Amino acid sequence: MRLSRYFLPVLKETPGEAQVVSHQLMLRAGMIRQTAAGIYAWLPLGLRVLRKIEQIVREEQDNAGAVELLMPTIQSAELWKQSGRYDAYGPEMLRITDRHDREMLFSPTAEELFTTIFANGVKSYRDLPRILYQIQWKFRDEIRPRFGVMRGREFLMKDAYSFDPDLAAARHSYNRMFIAYLRTFARMGLHAIPMRADTGPIGGDLSHEFIVLAPTGESDVFYHSNWKAARDTTVDADDATALQTYVDRLNTDYAATDEKRDQGLEAEAGDALKQSRGIEVGQIFYFGTKYSAAMGLSVQGADGTAIVPHMGSYGIGVSRLMGAIVEASHDKDGIVWPDAVAPYKVALINLRADDASCLAAADAMYDRLTAAGVEVLYDDRDERGGAKFATADLIGVPWQVVIGPKGVGARTVEVKRRGAGTRDEMTVEAAVAKLA
């Protein structure tokens, strides 16, 4: 993509309403714009990152055996009254009435709807187990939306729901999603710590939240230094016993947010106790038959008796993850995107757009990289070099390829790694080979 034809409204100054680093940088980098309190438009650069995060989430859900579908954002209030959550959920739920005076709501989550759809499509124990998921927009009417996409009112979320014949099978589904979450965050270059959590309005008695370590995160996190080695252990997700042992081992490694600290366990950890800031990016729940019983879901068992499936739900804040990645990966000059989610792989910078030889060399490099399948954002604007470098650093593309008059004659370019700051002079051919 040529920057001269792109829509990238970068800002030189930090907007006054932005309180946290991710909000500041995402606004300055032209990735989002606020349209109402806690509601954002996703501009082209931001949308590219959002789609890449979404795809990683999708691939790991698919690998865990989940099946994707898509539910509507607007739900009938009758479903929520049937489960008993309509009045219990609170003012965060956006309640609306249609032209026929029917009570509706903008989905904050979808346990009731998924349960109803599943109940209408299954009859036998042979239809279990199943995990269904969607990646869909949600709305929660936060009283004080702040921190940009980290705590907005409208957000993109992956929500999955498991249906199992009994507790043992349900725990296996829960554990499969547990490690799918760890793999998801690791692919994005994030260090995520799972820790026991309250179930809140979702319900049930088993839940874990996943906290990403970030220097400018929203809460304090305390953890034992051995959690990372335990997390990185390879485990067969199809082996229920091995998987349960792995999850149990992780749960023995101390980790807690500030409000749930255990002074005794911290004293036992001694020098192994570490502290950081963190951001919650996902939460998983097991809640038994709470929704299946309320919504009339049952199937015929092998002996002919009715089985009420056990359920769990599993959420990842897809749009929130984007803010978390920026909080975890930035420097004084801007964002430093991990390769897997970067909007483009290469920022191609022509230092002299008014020089015919530089222009020809930059155009040729753009064509060669594009033909090799490399995603390139080509800064072909008639701007000074300093402005182009500032833009490239701000938006955080992992590699920069710089073409200037000195290198044109020698057929060399400068290749810079954004995160490490390393710079290397190399031939055009070597640069294409390296980046492709």
The H or E element containing residue 366 is helix 356-371
What is the fold of 344-435? Rossmann fold (3.40.50)
| Domain ranges in the chain with CATH number 3.40.50.800 | 344-435
pLDDT of residue 12: 93
| Domain ranges in the chain with CATH number 3.30.930.10 | 3-335
Q: Which residues contact 308 (CB under 8 A, 6 or more apart)?
A: 289, 292, 293, 297, 298
| Nearest Cα residue to 175 out of 284, 256, 73 | 284
Q: What is the mean pLDDT of each run of 10 residues along the chain (436 residues)?
A: 97 92 97 96 98 98 97 96 90 96 96 94 96 97 90 96 96 95 94 85 83 88 84 84 90 86 91 92 94 94 95 97 96 97 98 94 97 97 95 98 94 96 96 96
pLDDT of residue 357: 96
pLDDT of residue 302: 93
CA angle 207, 217, 61 (to 5 degrees): 45
pLDDT of residue 203: 72
* Burial grade of 189 (CB within 10 A; 0-12, 13-18, 19 or more): middle
pLDDT of residue 215: 86
pLDDT of residue 424: 96
What is the fold of 3-335? BirA Bifunctional Protein; domain 2 (3.30.930)
Contact between residue 283 and residue 207 where contact means Cβ atoms under 8 Å apart: yes
pLDDT of residue 198: 83
pLDDT of residue 259: 83
| Nearest Cα residue to 324 out of 397, 222, 217 | 217
Residue 412: strand, helix, or coil: strand
Contact between residue 46 and residue 26 where contact means Cβ atoms under 8 Å apart: yes
CA distances from 350 to 93, 97, 222, 353, 386 (A): 50, 55, 46, 6, 11
Contact between residue 115 and residue 295 where contact means Cβ atoms under 8 Å apart: yes
pLDDT of residue 200: 73
pLDDT of residue 205: 79
